[in-house]
């Protein structure tokens, strides 16, 4: 099984290859197209723009039912999240929804490691763990500022990749 970082790099290379770049150019372009996520990359609201689970399992079924997943990252490494069957299309709607998620007594925190390791905590328990890459320039389906999260394989050997894109009312549809 190839590592998540190699898997994502291969994805970049394939996109560039299909766009007409030769292998040497593709390798160089892919390497300069992303870096590991850093703490300063997190801030604002992100929509899970794309998700893939192979083979399909729990997350794929949940994502099919609730296709709009949002993460909001705040100062002091605090985050909130919510899922919806319909998109949030206005800033007022997003503000109201985020305000309601913050009324929980549960504390949601995140930590970003030096090599893009992203750990999401619910109170003091690990909720989710990812390898995170930050996209530096537009490449195929990726836009500068996107974050690509890949979860480690579970005992079922399923792979999960999420593409987070900064949410604005203009990107809601």
Per-residue pLDDT, 10: 45
Q: Between 168 and 68, whose confidence is greater?
A: 68
> Per-residue pLDDT tens for 106-154?
999 999 999 999 999 999 999 999 999 999 999 888 999 999 999 875 5
Question: Does residue 30 lie within any of the structural domains?
Answer: no
Q: How many domains does the chain have?
A: 1
Question: Does residue 70 lie within any of the structural domains?
Answer: yes
What are the start-end ranges of the H helices in 19-123? 23-31, 58-65, 91-101
Closest to 125 measured CA to CA, from 107, 98, 104, 105: 107
Closest to 68 measured CA to CA, from 47, 94, 37: 47
- Indicate the SS3 state at residue 19: coil
Closest to 87 measured CA to CA, from 48, 142, 141: 48
The DSSP output letter for 102 is T
Joined together, the tokens standing for residue 112 give 């970003």
Question: Does residue 20 lie within any of the structural domains?
Answer: no
Question: Does residue 29 lie within any of the structural domains?
Answer: no
Q: How many CB atoms sit inside 10 A of residue 21's CB?
A: 16
133: domain CATH number is: 2.40.128
Question: Does residue 138 lie within any of the structural domains?
Answer: yes
> Per-residue pLDDT tens for 59-114?
889 999 999 999 999 989 999 999 999 999 999 999 998 888 877 889 999 999 99
Closest to 38 measured CA to CA, from 106, 125, 127, 136: 136
Question: Does residue 13 lie within any of the structural domains?
Answer: no
Question: Does residue 144 lie within any of the structural domains?
Answer: yes
Domain that holds residue 85: 35-171
Question: Does residue 5 lie within any of the structural domains?
Answer: no
Joined together, the tokens standing for residue 68 give 């709009």
Q: Is the pLDDT of residue 12 over 70?
A: no
């Amino acid at each position: 099984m190839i590592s998540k970082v190699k898997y994502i790099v291969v994805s970049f290379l394939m996109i560039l290859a299909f766009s007409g770049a030769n292998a040497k150019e593709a390798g160089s372009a892919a390497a300069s197209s992303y870096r590991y996520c850093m703490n300063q990359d997190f801030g604002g609201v992100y929509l899970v723009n794309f998700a893939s689970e192979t083979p399909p399992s729990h997350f794929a079924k949940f994502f099919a039912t609730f296709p709009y997943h949002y993460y909001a990252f705040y100062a002091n490494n605090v985050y909130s999240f919510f899922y919806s069957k319909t998109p949030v299309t206005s800033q007022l709607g997003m503000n109201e929804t985020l305000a309601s998620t913050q009324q929980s007594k549960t504390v949601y925190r995140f930590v970003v490691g030096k090599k893009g390791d992203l750990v999401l905590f619910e109170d003091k328990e690990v909720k989710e763990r990812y390898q995170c890459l930050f996209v530096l320039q537009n490449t195929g389906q990726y836009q500068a500022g996107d974050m690509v999260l890949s979860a480690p394989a579970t005992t079922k050997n399923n792979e999960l990749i999420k593409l987070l894109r900064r949410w604005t009312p203009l990107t809601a549809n």
